[in-house]
Structure 1
């Protein structure tokens, strides 16, 4: 019994593989449970949010255009409400499921690092929500511009399922993209990759971020793409700097511990000499 408690409370966070997998399973279950409960609230928030998403179409109609949503089948409304409830639930419960990620990583960190990692969890929540807000800011303009390519005599009859999925995919992609620095720092803290590796691979990172920004950009102009790309690149280099500082502090700590260990051994050898 004492051995089990010692393993669980290992200050270095070491644990057997089976226990590590159980911990991962538990954190996933807790995260999914939190999202499910938040989705209940999302069910009741569906109508006001769906109304906000339709406002760009109303603006088009007020300016003399013609854009309408089409619910093609009987069950589309119910299907959309389920999907939107889950979508809202993910955003509402973001502090909870991001916290579960931190709690899974935390055993691999030292006690001082856990405090810093918790602060990064709070930053991750803020960044995730900011990314979603940026997507929300761009989307109405995207709808107006993209529907504007239709001829003046045309009627934009938009499939409701496609329209709302377009909103959810873009907002979700923006939110996830803003989590890039947190993922990078977390991988560095658990020893998966060093900060210098991030620095050496900055060119590939710029290319990857550019491709991602081009894919999720809903507008055919470069300015919107730059609005997505600029914060991602900034976050990448900020996370790289944090990782490099962490690696240097870790190396100094190990050198100090090694020096103390060698010093203790030399003292023991002096004591044994006649």
Structure 2
């Protein structure tokens, strides 16, 4: 029995079928269903892990509060608990937040695998770069938020009408810290948005640099609203970080423009209302050729009289 050495052609993957546009609408819907199911499994696994380590995460979040002398009673750091189920609900919330972070590689990959076939090859490459930069920027903003809360909480509590003997409700305190972390992390993604606009050709580096006054002003205005500390420390720190990241993004945009040759176009530097110079070419006009006399048109031939109806067809038709 002869053996064939030819390999069977490999069946194209779902990614290749979606990129080529050979998938039907039903196949797209099925793929979306499967990817949502896998993403849900990743979130469930992350939720279970988050529930296990929720106590450790809470010990980190309570650090700024427990650093205050007013939070210690009988040698223990104590919070106010108003409801019987508040502690359990808080643990579930922490588990959900941690589960979203732990399961992010799974659900982000499923989202990317569904969207990526519709992008070009160079767009996929830059998307990988932007995602790789976005994660460290968010973590940097989260660390800064924790640092600001740690140094601002003492001033906030001591400056109140009650004084240092203030205790906080545990659910409100943890929600306040998590909101600050999310807010600062999202603020640190602003320079990445500017880079995306530059890399896609929407704005140039010179245009981004021309916005520096407005960006610095909006950075301080946003920091004044976002930071809980009414003093200048937290506001100045956040605004300075956002402004520094903005100027770094502008520097990267200048490098990208130089690499792509932007600013050296043929019509760069010309006003939109400038008249295009056209070379004047004069061609002498000579005498025209003589026109022949028109010829007479003969009269039309007479039209024959149509035959009677019974003579138009033969016996077969």
Same fold at TM > 0.5: yes
Please list the CA deviations of residues 214-265 of structure 1 after superposition, one character each: whole Å capped at 9, or x if unmatched.
122121221221211112111112223323433454456x98xxxxxxxxxx
Which residue is equivalent to 1:171? 181
Flag the 1:35–1:173 CA change in 2: closer, same or farther, 3 A.
farther
Residue in structure 2 matching 1:51, options 33, 36, 59: 59
CA deviation after TM superposition for structure 1 residue 171, in Å: 1.0
Which residue is equivalent to 1:246? 256
Which residue is equivalent to 2:237? 227
Residue in structure 1 matching 2:203, options 194, 199, 203: 194
- Alpha-carbon distance in structure 2 between the residues aligned to 1:62 and 1:138: 19
Flag the 1:182–1:152 CA change in 2: closer, same or farther, 3 A.
closer
Which residue is equivalent to 1:80? 90
5 Å-filtered alignment, 1:251-270, equals: none
Residue in structure 1 matching 2:46, options 18, 38, 46: 38
Q: Which runs of 5+ in 2 are unaligned?
A: 1-11, 266-317
What do you get for the CA RMSD once the two structures are aligned?
Answer: 4.2
The alignment's TM-score, normalised by the length of structure 1, stands at 0.69
Flag the 1:224–1:64 CA change in 2: closer, same or farther, 3 A.
same
CA deviation after TM superposition for structure 1 residue 52, in Å: 2.7
- Alpha-carbon distance in structure 1 between the residues aligned to 2:109 and 2:213: 31
Flag the 1:161–1:62 CA change in 2: closer, same or farther, 3 A.
closer
Q: Which has the higher mean CA deviation after the structures are superposed, 134-143 or 58-67?
A: 58-67
Larger radius of gyration: 2
- Alpha-carbon distance in structure 2 between the residues aligned to 1:100 and 1:249: 33
CA deviation after TM superposition for structure 1 residue 151, in Å: 5.9
The alignment's TM-score, normalised by the length of structure 2, stands at 0.61
Q: Which runs of 5+ in 1 are unaligned?
A: 256-274
- Alpha-carbon distance in structure 2 between the residues aligned to 1:6 and 1:153: 65
User: Which structure has the highest helix share of the two?
Assistant: 1
- Alpha-carbon distance in structure 1 between the residues aligned to 2:15 and 2:222: 45
CA deviation after TM superposition for structure 1 residue 147, in Å: 1.4
Aligned pair count reads 245
CA deviation after TM superposition for structure 1 residue 108, in Å: 4.2
